[in-house]
Amino acid sequence: MAEQRNERPIVNMRPGGPGGPGRGPGGPRGMMMTREKPKNMVITLKKLIAYIGSSKYLVLSLLLIMMVTTVMNLAGPALQGGAIDAIGRGDASGLITILATMAAIYLVSSALTYFQGTAAAKLSQRTVYKMRSDLFGKIEYLPIKFTDTHQHGDIMSRMTNDVENVSNTISTSIASLFSGVITLIGSLVMMLYYSPIMTLIAMVTIPLTILASTSMSKFMRRYFVQQQKLLGSLNGHIEEMVTGYKTVMAYGKEEKSTAEFAEISATLRKTGIKANIFGGVMGPLMNVIGNFGYLLIVVSGGYFALEGVITVGVILSFIQYSRQFTRPINELANQYAQILTAIAGAERVFEIMDDRSVESNETAEDINVGEVKGDISFENVMFSYKQGEPVLKNFNFEVKAGQQIAIVGKTGSGKTTVVNLLTRFYDIDSGSIKLDGRDIRDISKRSLRKSIAIVLQDTVLFSDTIGANISYGKLDATEKEIKAAAACANADVFIDRLPDGYNTELTGSGSNLSQGQRQLLSIARAVLADPKILILDEATSSVDTRTEMQIQQAMLALMKGRTSLVIAHRLSTIRDSDMIIVLDDGHIVEAGNHEELLKQGGAYYNLYQTQFAGFET
């Protein structure tokens, strides 16, 4: 698929390929310079609450525990004030009763706090489990265009770092937020009960708190959102360098790679420092405001006690309630940085989940794959990766069932684009593509792709056994079927020589096999899939001549009785095709078999002469 490196955006069919990290709009620099408009915090919170609410019984249990615990904690200051007044009156029996009640309340409260922490942890893990599952499910069905224009490492960062931030915030902050609301209301009620005047005095600091928090939050939010984006960019750069480390070393670009990493890392460091500074200032600032309020209460309480309006016990209780009233506000201020980080991460997660380009066509229907014949037609197809820059222009092309059609042309002529459109990795701008006379947009993508198998230049293998990689073409295949497919692809010879045979574990996308062996496994996988339509995209361009002959034999067996589209630079692989079409600038400039095209002396003749003129006699 050498063409994919030059044709505008193309489908990403291999790790680190086109559209991968650092290429085009998704590259590290592109991500670093992007300044997305912040999402609506209210909408993000609503979506997050919906996920939390999916575990409604656990949420209700947590709320119940927190309500009981909070009520018990609210009873503490009243009992303390009562104990002080009992001492002042010399009421020993009353003091003992109050102390025993306090001991019981504190013991029960401690036990409930343990259960509260357990429930919060379960709620956190259940919520992020559902978020991760939904996110991964969405990523699995994202259009190719999305992965072409987004850094792979950034997408992974949303799945890991961003979701983990949400998890940490739910487990540590959710209980504080819920209990804080109850504590605020309960403390306010008790303060009004003891002294409405002192309550009004205590409320003086509330406007200061609101003003300080709102002023700081607009600075904090910007830096925390940017911090998450840069972290995704950094992960993307690392992922790209690890994937392409051989190329980096081969071209001696270690210093350049290190410099780019340092640049992104330095920007992340500066942004992180600013975010932490603003996040760290919030807590101390709230404490200063809280201590000022505490001073007002102490002064006013002492005055009212001297006037005989309230007792010393009431002052003690009121001070405790005022602290409980301000405690949730201070806790929220101290956790605000973490909460903002979680919201920023949740926004990035929901950005993928809300992507509407994955919406399926409601008119698309499943078809019986076994009844597919393999007739293909392109009718007046127009397509462009970028608006205003068409790649295919009024493209017309027809393939009869069982025919072998070869597509050739210079790099960037549109060969791979034909494959991308037939498999609906991209949808056409206008015109129609038909399978057995039916527009492929009226066929579900799942059914369409079950009818097609693709063998690529760079084979994608997974870290699993050889047998499991072959069975990717048919997951319920028996051992006998897997071995038969391998034999058809001429892969059984080298597999049987391996110590563990079909149970040999592949590492690093099959790096413990040669390029030719990986290609034979890819062909075996296609044999097992038993497709009606076969696409061979530069399947032999990266192997030696001897290996090419082995692969060609396997491909001939695979193509027998199937509609086949062969994209090739090596013209030796397509001489026996039923028809060869030559593309140039999105048009078919020549069509015919090998002999006919040579006689025409046109574009195909020139290509052929370039490759073989000096070797034939």
Last residue of a domain, one of 325, 355, 385: 355
456 CB contacts (<8 Å, ≥6 apart)? Answer: 1, 13, 14, 522, 537, 538, 539
Six-digit token string for 119: 């429930």
For residue 66, what are the CA distances in angstroms to 52, 70, 106, 113, 208? 16, 6, 14, 8, 29
Answer yes or no: do 271 and 322 share one domain: yes
Q: In what order do the strands lie in the sheet with 563-567?
A: 452-456, 533-537, 563-567, 404-409, 579-584, 587-592
Residues shown for the chain: 617
SS (H, E, C) 262-282: HHHHHHHHHHHHHHHHHHHHH
Question: What is the band of 35 on the pLDDT scale with cuts at 50, 70, 90?
Answer: very low
Question: What is the band of 543 on the pLDDT scale with cuts at 50, 70, 90?
Answer: low
Q: What is the pLDDT of residues 373-387, one digit of tens each?
A: 889 999 999 998 888
- Is residue 29 within 8 Å of 233, Cβ to Cβ? no
Question: What is the band of 613 on the pLDDT scale with cuts at 50, 70, 90?
Answer: low
Tell which residue, 561, 524, 522, has the closest CA to residue 539: 522
Domain enclosing residue 273, as ranges: 41-355
d(CA 587, CA 603): 13
The region of weakest confidence among 102-116, 275-289, 401-415 is 275-289
Answer yes or no: do 313 and 420 share one domain: no
Give SS3 for 167.
helix
The pLDDT value given to residue 2: 36
Answer yes or no: do 351 and 384 share one domain: no
pTM over the 0.75 mark: no
- Is residue 21 within 8 Å of 237, Cβ to Cβ? yes
Residue 309 lies in a domain: yes
Q: In the predicted model, what is the mean pLDDT of the chain? A: 78
Question: What is the band of 24 on the pLDDT scale with cuts at 50, 70, 90?
Answer: very low
Higher confidence at residue 422 or residue 247?
A: 422
Higher confidence at residue 146 or residue 616?
A: 146
Whether 33 has a pLDDT exceeding 60, the answer reads no
Answer yes or no: do 63 and 117 share one domain: yes
Q: How many domains does the chain have?
A: 2
Q: Dihedral, CA atoms, 253, 259, 265, 268, nearest 10 degrees?
A: -120
Q: What is the pLDDT of residues 398-454, one digit of tens each?
A: 889 888 888 888 877 888 888 889 988 888 889 999 999 899 988 888 888 888 888
Q: Average pLDDT in the 357-367 region?
A: 63
Last residue of a domain, one of 333, 355, 377: 355
Burial grade of 136 (CB within 10 A; 0-12, 13-18, 19 or more):
exposed
Task: Find the distance separating the first CA and the last CA of the chain, reported in whole Å.
Answer: 31
Answer yes or no: do 470 and 556 share one domain: yes
- Is residue 470 within 8 Å of 528, Cβ to Cβ? yes
Whether 10 has a pLDDT exceeding 60, the answer reads no
Answer yes or no: do 351 and 380 share one domain: no
Answer yes or no: do 334 and 383 share one domain: no
Whether 11 has a pLDDT exceeding 80, the answer reads no
Domain with residue 501: its CATH number is 3.40.50.300
Residue 446 lies in a domain: yes
The region of weakest confidence among 61-70, 172-181, 533-542, 607-616 is 607-616
Residue 18 lies in a domain: no
Q: Average pLDDT in the 470-491 region?
A: 87
Residue 5 lies in a domain: no
Residue 396 lies in a domain: yes
Residue 284 lies in a domain: yes
Answer yes or no: do 53 and 137 share one domain: yes
Answer yes or no: do 343 and 374 share one domain: no
Answer yes or no: do 125 and 171 share one domain: yes
Residue 11 lies in a domain: no
- Is residue 382 within 8 Å of 428, Cβ to Cβ? yes
Domain with residue 340: its CATH number is 1.20.1560.10
Residue 420: how many CB atoms within 10 A of its CB? 23
The pLDDT value given to residue 602: 84
Last residue of a domain, one of 355, 387, 406: 355
Q: Average pLDDT in the 467-496 region?
A: 88
Tell which residue, 65, 105, 64, has the closest CA to residue 82: 105
Which of 2-6, 233-237, 554-558, 612-616 shows the highest mean pLDDT?
Answer: 233-237
Answer yes or no: do 436 and 506 share one domain: yes
Residue 80 lies in a domain: yes
Answer yes or no: do 256 and 387 share one domain: no
The pLDDT value given to residue 432: 92
